[in-house]
């Protein structure tokens, strides 16, 4: 149990009171007092999200506006390209893209979403990294951009096959949006930013709403019997089944985007031979990984038994003897798969689908196989 002092020092999102009133089991996460689950429990919350719709409070994440001093959004895009290996200039107005802040060693400082709102860029970054990210932006982009921390906004994710119908009742424009569309929209008459995205592998939306209106919007969405509140526990099992990286676990300052199997997120224009090749921190190492391959790679792992293989489990080539060849970075039970699922890093030479490996769990080596991700087919509306 936490001492009283620790609990008091935790920050609260604008939906904290709602979580408590809904019976949320509150735990510390990234400096915030957050619901890990509600009375329904992780398993039911997870399955409900895949079958119907789940509402997640992700207000702990950082929302940042990057406003070009010139007034031209492409100047903000060019400036941001100095910090990420993605093609930001090519993001059309009303669209967003997944990106990473890299460091001089080619490692990942954070992963984020970047949206083009026409006259500025809108960024969503991880809670645990948001202060460092903001300082990083200020230190590097202040000449070209005003960095505006949107701390007065909450962020609500609505995910699952019934998310579209649920949001359509409050935002007539929502159904017309495609995966990764993003921009200002009225939701229940409120000035929101809506993107068709999320981190569960399901179709769905993320809704940025003024903090003062967040509880009212969340309650209105929850009046729909298809929508249940979902805690961080199910958020984690959903993103794991979707094969998505959790920063600080599956990716960090020691992993390059190539090692992390995130090549798809780095557009050709920024790679060797591209029109704006390089020019981001760690470009030399990251482009070398693109050109020559990296020694290790993030892969999906399916256990053959029922025992969950969790973060930190060492991976071996054989059922006895030898040195570890890798480590699990995320792992647990996948409720939709009804089986244990994990991801981790292995030598690239042992990363082919179907490769038989062993994970050490409580002193026993359990057979696992390298498997394709996502583990559960995603249902994005493209």
Footprint on this chain of other proteins (rule: CB under 8 A): 36-37, 41-44, 46, 233-234, 236-237, 306-308, 310, 332-333, 335, 340, 362
* Minimum distance of other proteins from residue 285's CB (angstroms): 35
In the bound state with other proteins, the residue whose beta carbon lies nearer, of 54 and 62, is 54
Q: Which lies closer to other proteins via its Cβ, residue 70 or residue 364?
A: 364
In the bound complex, what is the minimum distance in angstroms from residue 310's beta carbon to other proteins? 7
The secondary element (H helix, E strand) that includes residue 215 is helix 211-222
CA distance 313 to 381: 35
Nearer Cβ to other proteins (150/307):
307
> 34 or 166: whose CB is closer to other proteins?
34
Work out how close the CB of 372 gets to other proteins at its nearest, in angstroms, rounded to a whole number: 22
Region of 339 on the Ramachandran plot (φ > 0 left; ψ -120 to 50 alpha; else beta): beta
Cβ neighbourhood burial of 18 (10 Å; 0-12, 13-18, 19+)? buried
**CB closer to other proteins out of 290 and 333:** 333
Taking the complex as a whole, the smallest distance from the CB of residue 93 to other proteins amounts, in Å, to 40
d(Cα 186, Cα 4) in Å, to the nearest integer? 40
Q: How far is the CB of 298 from other proteins (least distance, A)?
A: 22
Minimum CB separation of residue 39 from other proteins in Å reads 10
Q: Closest distance between other proteins and the C-beta of residue 131, in Å?
A: 27
DSSP conformational letter for 29: E
Q: How many CB atoms lie within 10 A of CB 33?
A: 22
* Cross-strand pairs, 369: 302, 356
Least Cα distance to 281 among 90, 139, 68, 120 occurs for: 139
Measured distance CA(115)–CA(327) in Å, rounded:
34
Q: Which CB, 43 or 165, lies closer to other proteins?
A: 43
Q: How far apart are CA 266 and CA 86, in angstroms?
A: 5
Four-CA torsion 177, 181, 184, 187, nearest 10 degrees: 40
Angle made by CA atoms 215, 248, 159, in degrees to the nearest 5: 35
Among residues 54 and 340, whose Cβ is nearest to other proteins? 340
- Report the nearest approach of other proteins to the CB of residue 276 (Å): 43
Residues paired with 123 in a beta bridge: 64, 114
Smaller CB separation from other proteins, 25 or 276: 25
Residue pair 235/198 in contact (Cβ under 8 Å)? The answer is no
Q: 326-362: string of b/e by CB count within 10 Å (b at 16+)?
A: bbbbbbbbbbbeebbbbbbbbeeebbeeebebbbbbe
CB of 261 to other proteins, least distance (A): 24
Q: What is the CA radius of gyration of the chain?
A: 21
Q: Which two tokens stand for residue 304?
A: 């053959």
At closest approach, how far in Å is the CB of 124 from other proteins?
25
Nearer to other proteins by C-beta: 299 or 309? 309
Considering the complex, state which of residue 235 and residue 270 has its C-beta at the smaller distance from other proteins.
235
């Amino acid at each position: 149990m936490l001492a009283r002092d620790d609990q008091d020092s935790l920050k609260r999102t604008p939906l904290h009171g709602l979580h408590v009133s809904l019976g949320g089991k509150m735990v510390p996460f990234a400096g915030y007092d957050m619901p890990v689950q509600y009375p329904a429990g992780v398993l039911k919350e997870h399955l409900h999200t895949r079958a119907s719709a789940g509402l997640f409070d992700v207000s702990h994440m950082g929302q940042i506006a990057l406003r070009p001093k010139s007034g031209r959004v492409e100047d903000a895009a060019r400036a941001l390209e100095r910090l990420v290996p993605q093609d930001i200039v090519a993001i059309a107005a009303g669209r967003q893209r997944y990106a990473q802040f890299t460091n001089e060693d080619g490692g990942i400082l954070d992963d984020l979403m970047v949206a083009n709102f026409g006259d500025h860029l809108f960024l969503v970054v991880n809670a645990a990294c948001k202060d460092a990210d903001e300082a990083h932006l200020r230190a590097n982009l202040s000449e070209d951009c005003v960095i505006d921390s949107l701390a007065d906004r909450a962020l609500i994710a609505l995910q699952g096959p019934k998310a579209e119908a649920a949001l359509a009742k409050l935002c007539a424009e929502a159904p017309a949006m495609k995966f990764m569309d993003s921009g200002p929209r009225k939701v229940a008459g409120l000035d929101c930013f809506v993107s068709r995205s999320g981190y569960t592998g399901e179709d769905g939306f993320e809704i940025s709403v003024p903090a003062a209106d967040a509880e009212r919007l969340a309650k209105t969405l929850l009046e729909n019997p298809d929508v249940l509140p979902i805690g961080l526990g199910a958020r984690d099992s959903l993103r794991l089944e979707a094969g998505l990286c959790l920063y600080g676990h599956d990716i960090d300052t020691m992993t390059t985007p190539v090692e992390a199997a995130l090549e798809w997120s780095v557009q050709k224009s920024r790679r060797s031979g591209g029109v704006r090749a390089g020019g981001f921190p760690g470009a030399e190492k990251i482009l070398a990984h693109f050109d020559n391959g990296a020694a290790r790679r993030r892969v999906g792992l399916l256990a053959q038994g029922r025992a969950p293989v969790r973060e930190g489990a060492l991976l071996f080539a054989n059922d006895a003897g030898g040195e570890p060849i890798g480590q699990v970075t995320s792992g647990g039970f996948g409720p939709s798969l009804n089986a244990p699922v994990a991801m981790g890093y292995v030598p690239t030479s042992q990363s082919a689908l179907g490769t038989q490996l062993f994970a050490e769990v409580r002193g026993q080596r359990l057979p696992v196989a390298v498997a394709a991700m996502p583990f559960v087919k995603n249902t994005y509306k493209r």
